């Protein structure tokens, strides 16, 4: 059962334009959301996060929007240079055992920024 879904496996945008990556989730107990960027054969790197008590968070070129009623979040990247071409994962935090949280990842969206 995929609790975090990225329905677009790939996305192509022109260099300098905005990239919008979408993510849907099913579990209303998720309370923290994150976006990661991943290059092939490397570990993911953290981009930006948002708490469930907020609906927007901005950090430089990255803005994340959260719509709790729709169980939907999106990542906006403005502008998009070719170096942004990578796989992007959204993740949601669910309380695990003890004091930890489990990060449940989506299926990923492969972003191609065309020069």
Interface contacts to another protein, rule CB under 8 A: 2, 4, 6, 31-32, 34, 41-46, 49, 51, 89, 91, 93, 95-108
Q: What one-character DSSP code corresponds to residue 83?
A: G
Q: What one-character DSSP code corresponds to residue 70?
A: T
Nearer Cβ to another protein, position 10 or 12?
Answer: 10
Closest distance between another protein and the C-beta of residue 115, in Å? 27
Closest distance between another protein and the C-beta of residue 57, in Å? 13
Nearer Cβ to another protein, position 19 or 35?
Answer: 35
Three-state secondary structure call for residue 92: strand
Nearer Cβ to another protein, position 85 or 88?
Answer: 88
Quick one: which of 55, 34, 57, 44 has its CA closest to 86? Answer: 44
Alpha-carbon 97 to chain mean position: 24
Nearer Cβ to another protein, position 85 or 89?
Answer: 89
Closest distance between another protein and the C-beta of residue 105, in Å? 4
Closest distance between another protein and the C-beta of residue 7, in Å? 12
Q: Please tell me the distance from the alpha carbon of residue 115 to that of residue 98, in angstroms, as a whole number.
A: 47
Which tokens in the block code for residue 18? 């905005």
Q: What is the helix (H) or strand (E) element at residue 32, kind and residue range? A: strand 32-38
């Amino acid at each position: 059962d995929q609790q975090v879904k990225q329905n677009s496996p790939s996305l192509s945008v022109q260099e300098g334009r905005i990239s919008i990556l979408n993510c849907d989730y099913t579990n209303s107990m998720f309370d923290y959301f994150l976006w990661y960027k991943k290059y092939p054969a490397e570990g993911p790197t953290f981009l930006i996060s948002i708490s469930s008590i907020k609906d927007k968070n901005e950090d430089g070129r990255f803005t994340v929007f959260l719509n709790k009623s729709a169980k939907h979040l999106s990542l906006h990247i403005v502008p998009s240079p070719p170096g942004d071409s990578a796989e992007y994962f959204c993740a949601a935090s669910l309380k695990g055992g003890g004091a930890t949280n489990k990060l449940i990842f989506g299926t990923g969206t492969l972003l191609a920024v065309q020069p």
